[in-house]
Every structure is written in structure tokens, then in C-alpha cells.
Amino acid sequence: MPPQQAESPATKAKVTGVVLFYLCAALAMVMANKWVLNDTKAPLFFLTTQLCIAVCLFLIADTLRMLPDRLTLDVKVCKGLVPMVGLSVLGLSLSNYTLKYVDASVYQVARGLVLPFTVGVSGVVLHTRPSLRILFACGIVTMGFFCGVFLDRVPMSLIGVGCGVASSTITATHSVVIKQSLDIVNKSTILLSWYTNLLSIFVLAPIVFLVEGTEVVKLLSGADELVREPGAMSALRTFVVGSLITGVVGFMMSLASLLSIKVTSPITHMVSSAVRGVAASLLGMWLFSEVISAGRAGSIAIILGGSIYYTWVKHVEAEAAKGYERVPMGDVERGQKPE
């Protein structure tokens, strides 16, 4: 059989296009979420609406054969994804509450412990031993978080920060569970996203009814419109427009993430995340009149710097591991170093 041809690397234009699209989509997601959450008292109902829109778009895309994998509905798969769905619902809910109670400009600070928690959970669950440089990177990120929370002169909601820390813990656990969940759906990220969105709706629906039932009735009936200023957009219209924007953008990000993983390197992805964090802070200041103090700016810079350093260290360690694997076993036993 003829040898398989290696897949040609992505062009600079393609990489740039993917990075810019993912960057713009992520920014639109955060800003639209913040816009709606500033005006609604039903964040869980908002999340459920987003998931419903995403599921509808998945079905349309599957009907038009736009997805690389056909959508399925298997009860056995649903049972296997219960831990994944539970963590996803809890993480997204806490993330929405975080964004509701803190400024968009410091959302990244409130959830700044995702990286240290992820390394810690991986060490406990997967029995991995992080290197000293990895621990140093986690230390930098942790220092940035505490600087932003305790050394900033601008008041920050303790409820929002608490939700952010809890969300970081769930996200870290989720990143470990997702590896096991991919095996259930034959490594298909499309199917995993489809099942997660669909099953999350069934988990959230009774919770919304019990926790936010009264607020949902007020929202849909327009009961709050009597106390609004003349000419202001109604709460229901804000909710509907914001749900459509975030639902569509969220679905597109699910697809774009596949392309992003395929054509970009981890370092490129982390640098784009850093740019996204800075842009989110500037947009929050411009759109919502948020205050960017020196403490907040310094905290964001420290967290992003530690995250970029972590990504670089992981890249270097991965390349070193590949080089070690290329050395013949006999040479390793004789003490030869990998090239």
C-alpha cells in the first residue's frame, strides 16, 4: 500500500481567519451575556434558552449535512454522559451568575483559578506529577487572582467572586471528565457537544421552574415594563435578542473550536485568549461604563502572563517527550540523550 500523504499545514491566512473568528465570537458571547444578565433576574432560564437555540441549530445543520458526524440519540450514551452533563450544567450556571454579579472587565479575574485547579484535579484524578515550572506558572496565576480580588481599590462582589471560584473548580473537573466522555461518543466532539446541549435542557428545565418560575412569568408577561423609563428596550425584547445572539454564536463556537484545535497551536490559542481578555476589559469599559483600575489591569496582566508561560512550558515538555520517544531503546539504556 502506498504511504499516506501527510496533511499539509494550514496557511497563515487560514490560521489568522480561524483565530479572528473565534476571538470575535467569544467576545460577542461575553458581551451579549453581560448585556442580558444586567437586565434579567432569570439567568438559568436565559441559559436554558441558549441551549434550546443551539439544539435547534444542531438539528438544522444535521439535516443539511453540514456536520462531519451524523447526530444520534442513544440511551446508553446518555447514561454514560450523566457526570459530564451534570458538571456542564453546574459550570455554565455558576459562570452566568459570575458574569451577572461582576463586571465583564474582571470576569477573567473572578474565574482566574481555572488553571491551578485544573492542574490540581489532574494530579489527583489522573495521578500526573506537574513539573516545577508548571507549578511556578500556577503560582503566578494564583498571585494574579489574589491581587485582583484583595488588593484592588474598586469594590468587587463577593457573591460574584465566590461563584467564579466555584465555577473554576467545576471547569477544572470538567476538563478531566471530558476526556473520558469523548470515549463514549467515539472521540467525536460534535456528538459530545450535541448530547451535552440536549441533555442539559432536561436537567435545567425543572430547576428553572422551581427556582425562577416567578421571574420567568414576570418576564414573559411584561410585568416589569411599568417601571421602565420611556424609550428603554423592554426586558423581554432584551432577553429575546440576547438569547438569539448568544445561542447562534455559541453554536458557531462549538464548530469553530474543532477548526481552531486543528489549525492552531496551543501557544497561538493561548495568545488569542490573552488578546480576548484585554479586549473584553476594554469593551466592558466602553459598553457598560465599567472602571478599569490599576489593580484590575495588573491582575489581568499577571493571570494572562502566567497562562501564556504555562502554555509555553507544556509545549516545550511535549516536544521533549516526543524527542525522547524517537530515541531507540538501546541508545536510551546506554545513556544517549534525545535530540
* Residues 40-76 pLDDT 10s: 888 999 999 999 998 999 999 899 988 878 888 888 9
* Residues 13-45 pLDDT 10s: 766 777 777 777 777 888 888 888 888 888 999
Query: Are 25 and 248 spatial neighbours (Cβ–Cβ below 8 Å)?
Result: no
Query: Are 150 and 88 spatial neighbours (Cβ–Cβ below 8 Å)?
Result: no
Residue 46 C-alpha cell reads as 436565559
| pLDDT for res 276 | 66
Categorise residue 228: left if φ over 0, alpha if ψ from -120 to 50, beta otherwise.
beta
Domain ranges of the chain: 12-223+233-327
| pLDDT for res 1 | 46
What global pTM score does this model have? Answer: 0.78
| pLDDT for res 48 | 93
Residues of the chain with pLDDT under 70: 1-12, 14-15, 223-232, 254-279, 281-282, 322-339
| pLDDT for res 2 | 46
| pLDDT for res 320 | 78
Q: Where are the alpha helices (DSSP H) in the chain?
A: 12-37, 43-63, 75-80, 82-101, 107-110, 114-125, 132-150, 158-184, 189-221, 235-263, 266-287, 294-326, 329-333
Rounded distance between C-alpha atoms, residue 69 and residue 189, angstroms: 9
* Residue 59 CB neighbour total at 10 angstroms: 13
Burial 176-203 (b: 16+ CB within 10 A, else e): ebeeebeebbeebbbbbbbbbbbbbbeb
Rounded distance between C-alpha atoms, residue 131 and residue 112, angstroms: 21
Query: Are 21 and 256 spatial neighbours (Cβ–Cβ below 8 Å)?
Result: yes
| pLDDT for res 114 | 82
Helix H, strand E, coil C: the string for 271-325 is: HHHHHHHHHHHHHHHHHCCCCCCHHHHHHHHHHHHHHHHHHHHHHHHHHHHHHHH
Q: What angle do CA 110, 171, 81 make, to 5 degrees?
A: 155
Rounded distance between C-alpha atoms, residue 244 and residue 240, angstroms: 6
Q: What is the DSSP string of 241-278?
A: HHHHHHHHHHHHHHHHHHHHHHHS-HHHHHHHHHHHHH
Q: 238: exposed, middle or buried (C-beta count within 10 Å: 0-12, 13-18, 19+)?
A: middle
